[in-house]
Structure 1
Amino acid sequence: MTDSQSTFRHLSETAQQINETRSTNAKISLCAKYFKGLNSDKELQLAARFLGEGAFSSISGKLATIGSRTYSTCAAEFCEIDYEKVFKPCKTALGSASEAIEKLMHNIEAAREKCEPGKLMLQEIESIYQEIYQVSSRADKQRILRRAWKQMTPLEIKFFIRIMTRGSLRIGFETKSVVSALAKAFGKNMDDVRYVHMITGSIGKTALLCKNNNLDEANFKLFHPLSFMLASPIESCTVENVDQYIAEEKFDGMRAQAHISGQQVKLYSRDLNDITHSFPEIVRFFLKKDLPDVVFDGEICVYKDDEILPFQLLQKRMGRKNPGKKILKKFPVLFISYDLLFHDTNPIFEHSLTQRRQLLEQLSNKHELPITNQFTVQDHDHVDELFKRALAHGNEGLMLKKADSTYEYGQRRKSWLKVKKPGGTLDTVMMYAHAGSGKRGGYYSDFTLGIRVAEDERYEEEFIPIGKAYGGYTDEAMKRLNKRIKDLTVEKYGPTLGLIPEIVIELEFDDIQVNKRTKANYSLRLPRFKTIRWDLDPKDADTLKDVEQMYQQKIDRERLKQRENPSFHFPK
């Protein structure tokens, strides 16, 4: 093996090659070959972590806390360009700060002159991330970034940022694919590797257990987040064998796990981050209950005056460290459990839902814990009746779960189904088109959509972005779009095209959320194409004031009180 295979440059080039490869199996083969080429355990551990987790292991509790503005202004200074006039327009057009930084570093002479790319090893990258973790001031973080970037190629800088911020690498290759690559590289059964990753919580540790034939040594430990079981969206009328399912209301809250042992309680979000500090009253509640060692899967909801209130109000609690008395009183929260993953000394993922539910009900009755109400489904009419009641409560819809299903961690299959009503639709205009990857490589298949602000005194533009959509259209529609996009292109930023805003898209979404980091101050949850409105003019697009009105209407809507056919019960 040559030293170059252990460099961060080689990892970055492999990641880029994976991004440019269309077939999922081919992506996995590329990654497997890369893993096999790494000689030392340490290199393999770091490579798997960087590709599958981020700068630090998920179970370490560490984050390289560095904001987009910190590394973006640092990049603008490094390139000797104006942040407001040059960097921000490039970022907006490309839809990605890291993508913009890569393009600028590659094309601006001032940046190229500062860089003398070396052969930074994976261990050296780990040390840089550790340095960033240990400092707190923006100046110190930027000093470390400037020193590191001088030793990197633009491609390395892009992936260095993406790994550092623990977001997606945006190469069409998420953690489950890294798991598949490890199985392929070391000749292991993929389900066995996936199970070991789930119970250890560490992709780096999983990689070493694979390589050294020690998968059977993996043990589950409390206080590392487990991969959540996911539900497949479906229309209620298409459910087959409906009598095999139980139903629960789908709460308008935040999915979370609660890990409890003695006097220690930890809460984890769906993206596996520790959110304990944001919800001290939940911690206090569980500490009073004298529970055995358990892991609950459930939902954190704002609950006040006998109502589950909108998710938008829960956002006011998220991310706050040590929320004050005023916030706690105004937005009180409740953890409502609907599954049990660990009990006493044993993981129970392989038990059926019915068996897990029996244990959960016993705990609820003994320790007075709020848990969901479950309903045995009779027929499709019964599903519709339960669905309407869920909406009346202000909840998102209905969950259908097979009574005999095991806990399929990290999977989205048909054992759990979610029946939801779209949060709404907006007529938007296409502002930017982004080149696709995977099976849609070669087409512009990802789009930034905007709303109209031409008559809004707060803005000078005609349209501002409101969301990105990646699907919801047919291949035939995509081809027609791409043909029209060529005629409307006015700017090109690498893989992104700036367009004359003439194509109108009716966009469907699950919810509207406040997002102060965007120009609109709002973002859409799960936006997708409903239809391409070739018949509409851009002047027919919805406005920011329409978005604001829709948001407020959801906040203000009346909700059925929980004492009337409740969606959960709370033994007292």
Structure 2
Amino acid sequence: MTIKPTNTFYTLSRIAQTIGETRGSHAKIRICAEYFMQLDNDTDLRLAAQFLGEGAFSDLSDKRTTVGSRTYSTLAAEFCEIDYDMVFKPSKTALGSASETIEKLLNNIPEAQKKWSAHGLLLKEIEDIFEELQSVSSRADKQSILKNAWAKMTPLEVKFFLRIMGRGSLRIGFESKSIISSIAKAFDKKVKDVRYVHMITGSIGKTALLARNDQLEDAQFKLFQPISFMLASPVESRSVEDFQEYLVEEKFDGMRCQIHVKQDKVHIFSRDLNDITHSFPEIVSFFRERDLPEIILDGEICVFRDDTIMPFQHLQKRMGLKKPTKKILAEYPTLLISYDLLFYDGEPVFEHTLIERRQLLTDLSKRHNFPITTQHYIQNKDEIDTYFEQALAHGNEGLMLKHKHSTYEYGQRRKSWLKVKKPGGSIDTIIMYAHAGSGKRGGTYSDFTLGVSVRDDERYEEEFIPIGKAYGGYTDEELKKINNRIKEITAEKYGPTLGLYPDIVIELEFDDIQVNKRTKANYTLRFPRFKAIRWDLSPNDVDTLKDVERLYEEKLNQQRLAQDQNPSFQFG
């Protein structure tokens, strides 16, 4: 059988790499659309869209490869015949990406070069490898499958194979909304129609097939099929001309979720559309007892104890648990607080206005006694300031402003929902590594790994250790100045990554501090971004890991206003 170049995994990898190196969203979409148009087999089109937009498996499949980073990283060290601790780990730290590290090692180490060759694996063969990986449980079996697969791939294919397998971003500046636009362009459809079908089917691969076969109108919504969430924009990035057009509610310090209910069948889905039902049995039991009609609710899961919403760090104790113990359930009881209604009485209600959806939600809450957010009509900015201080007193993140007449704009980030938040704090950090940007930032170093000081910390031998990565918050002029300085302080180069001598101090702003045992610091910053480039400070002024630990404890122990005073949610 003759293998067409378009249906090989190498071609998909080359397309992904090209998209990542291309500036401008329109140009990226054109490249992807042309690729989709060349795939004349339904299976190939489905898999191409799925691999680029969802991962190894469709979001609807509930399948996962569950291959940990250490599993494929130690295999890579063995494959390349290098020491894992002395060579691989430092290389990974420098690049900030295991998949990119493996690509470069396979390309440049002679021992590795002898072990791989391009076999032109088909997209279907890659799917079969993913299926095989998810069917085994032992590390040895997974490494055996990976080793055999890598021997038939180029280093570029291995990089994207790992990224697709991990279901994370492909790191090419091309997410689901751009793939939807590519499908629309490839098959001459309206973007809004393709977006709607993706939302109700939950599968980007299936959406691509329906678009090509002129069957978008055949798509039907089903319960227990997660829907793309409506997203919010920062209020500072969108001007508000008339505050009276918005409703305001508190933004909870919890986890966004979607709950589907049909009689005693209850499923909970996370923001990334994963089924997390098993982690929250008390919420499932609560909604089973409500005698509800068929509904889908959009809301937030919070740890709620002593009439108080507890810090997000408490919720972390519950996240990812397949079967929480009685002790965990007692110490960290959760509550799902709803703020929107997406499906009611057998019909989607996405096209209803917020006020209409809210009235339905309120009526349901009164009849069935489940918690919903407290919403307020507002007249001016002064009222927002008052409600904002109240939200912070409750321990919540801030406020949400929601346009009264907006529909549910699934998967979009527009002006209809605006978030008003106060930064969780800021610390002075050092730039440890600079990573080459892509897209409009191509040709410059625009992504940075920031570190804190451990010079006087008996637990560490280094001077600085990473605490987070940031790629925004600076102006073009500031970025140019940073890049000029980087030329003078480069210590090492690892492909597109530079290791730097300690020199540039950044005041880094963040939303929160989270425990992350997979990092050297045991903590990571949530949504870090540049607040200021402190040219006036030296590496001696950088904050320490102990400062981070202190800030974490302060947030954890912050006094919170109980819900009996100006409650942010209510039952019925």
TM-score of Structure 1 vs Structure 2, range by shorter chain? over 0.9
Q: Distance in 2 between matches of 1:381 and 1:252?
A: 23
**Residue in 2 that maps onto 1:18:** 19
**Residue in 2 that maps onto 1:350:** 351
**Residue in 1 that maps onto 2:542:** 541
Does the CA contact (< 8 Å) of 1:464 and 1:519 recur in 2?
A: yes
**Residue in 2 that maps onto 1:180:** 181
Does the CA contact (< 8 Å) of 1:79 and 1:111 recur in 2?
A: yes
**Residue in 1 that maps onto 2:146:** 145
Q: Which runs of 5+ in 1 are unaligned?
A: none
SS at structure 1 position matched to 2:114: helix
SS at structure 2 position matched to 1:246: strand
SS at structure 1 position matched to 2:57: coil
Does the CA contact (< 8 Å) of 1:505 and 1:532 recur in 2?
A: yes
Aligned partner of 1:446: which letter? D
Does the CA contact (< 8 Å) of 1:236 and 1:383 recur in 2?
A: no
Q: What does 1:313-392 correspond to in 2, within 5 Å? A: 313-392=314-393
Query: 1:540 offset after TM fit, Å?
Result: 0.4
The verdict on how the C-alpha distance between 1:345 and 1:45 changes in structure 2, with shifts beyond 3 A counting, is: same
Aligned partner of 1:475: which letter? D
* Corresponding position: 1:263 with 2:264: yes
Q: What does 1:394-543 correspond to in 2, within 5 Å? A: 394-543=395-544
**What per-residue deviation string (whole Å, max 9, x for no partner) do you get for residues 487-509 of structure 1?**
01011111100000110000000
**Residue in 1 that maps onto 2:245:** 244
Q: What does 1:48-197 correspond to in 2, within 5 Å? A: 48-197=49-198
**Residue in 2 that maps onto 1:287:** 288
Aligned partner of 1:522: which letter? Y
SS at structure 2 position matched to 1:114: coil
Q: Distance in 2 between matches of 1:230 and 1:58?
A: 19
Q: Distance in 2 between matches of 1:343 and 1:88?
A: 51
Q: Distance in 1 between matches of 2:430 and 2:75?
A: 32
Identity %: 67
**What per-residue deviation string (whole Å, max 9, x for no partner) do you get for residues 141-192 of structure 1?**
0000000000000000000000001010001111111111111111111111
Aligned partner of 2:321: which letter? R
SS at structure 1 position matched to 2:128: helix
SS at structure 2 position matched to 1:81: coil
Q: Distance in 2 between matches of 1:239 and 1:184?
A: 33
Q: Distance in 1 between matches of 2:289 and 2:366?
A: 15
SS at structure 1 position matched to 2:104: helix
Aligned residues: 571
**Residue in 1 that maps onto 2:9:** 8
**What per-residue deviation string (whole Å, max 9, x for no partner) do you get for residues 239-298 of structure 1?**
320011110000010000001112211111111111111111101111111111111000
* Corresponding position: 1:32 with 2:33: yes
Does the CA contact (< 8 Å) of 1:336 and 1:372 recur in 2?
A: yes
Does the CA contact (< 8 Å) of 1:401 and 1:417 recur in 2?
A: yes
Query: 1:116 offset after TM fit, Å?
Result: 2.3
Does the CA contact (< 8 Å) of 2:304 and 2:332 recur in 1?
A: yes
**What per-residue deviation string (whole Å, max 9, x for no partner) do you get for residues 387-422 of structure 1?**
000000000001110111101111111111110000
Q: Distance in 1 between matches of 2:64 and 2:176?
A: 18
**Residue in 1 that maps onto 2:255:** 254
SS at structure 1 position matched to 2:408: coil
Q: Which runs of 4+ in 1 moved over 6 A?
A: none
Aligned partner of 2:287: which letter? F
Aligned partner of 1:44: which letter? L
Does the CA contact (< 8 Å) of 1:236 and 1:384 recur in 2?
A: no
TM-score, normalized by length of structure 1?
0.99
Does the CA contact (< 8 Å) of 1:236 and 1:380 recur in 2?
A: no
The verdict on how the C-alpha distance between 1:20 and 1:238 changes in structure 2, with shifts beyond 3 A counting, is: closer
* Corresponding position: 1:46 with 2:47: yes
Deviates more, 1:439-448 or 1:259-268: 259-268
The verdict on how the C-alpha distance between 1:468 and 1:237 changes in structure 2, with shifts beyond 3 A counting, is: closer
Aligned CA RMSD, in angstroms, stands at 1.1
**What per-residue deviation string (whole Å, max 9, x for no partner) do you get for residues 25-61 of structure 1?**
1111111111111110110000000001000000111
Q: Distance in 1 between matches of 2:30 and 2:3?
A: 20
TM-score, normalized by length of structure 2?
0.99
